[in-house]
């Protein structure tokens, strides 16, 4: 059956597209590592 689907949850509340884009760019390496890891199915992103 394969691996479960991967989910990236973005918990920023109400904000602009530009802020979401910035978060994704800042977290790009972390997102890439998550996508390559077959043991993880959930990644939660939020602004510090």
Structural domain range at position 22 = 7-45
Residue 16 covered by a domain: yes
Distance CA 42, CA 4 (A): 10
Asked whether residue 3 carries a pLDDT value surpassing 80, the answer given is no
Residue 31 covered by a domain: yes
- If one counts the domains in the chain, the total is 1
| Dihedral angle computed from the Cα positions of residues 11, 24, 40 and 42, in that order, rounded to the nearest 10 degrees | 20
Provide the whole-model pTM: 0.83
What are 45's two structure tokens? Answer: 């992103």
Residue 24 covered by a domain: yes
Residue 20 covered by a domain: yes
List, in sequence order, the alpha helices (H) in the chain: 17-26, 28-36
Residue 2 covered by a domain: no
Over the stretch 13-48, which tens digit does the pLDDT of each residue have?
Answer: 899 999 999 999 999 999 999 999 999 999 999 976
């Amino acid at each position: 059956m394969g691996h479960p689907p991967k989910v990236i949850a973005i918990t920023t509340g109400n904000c602009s597209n530009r802020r979401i884009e910035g978060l994704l760019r800042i977290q790009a390496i972390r997102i890439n590592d998550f996508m390559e890891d077959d043991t993880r199915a959930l990644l939660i992103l939020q602004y510090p």
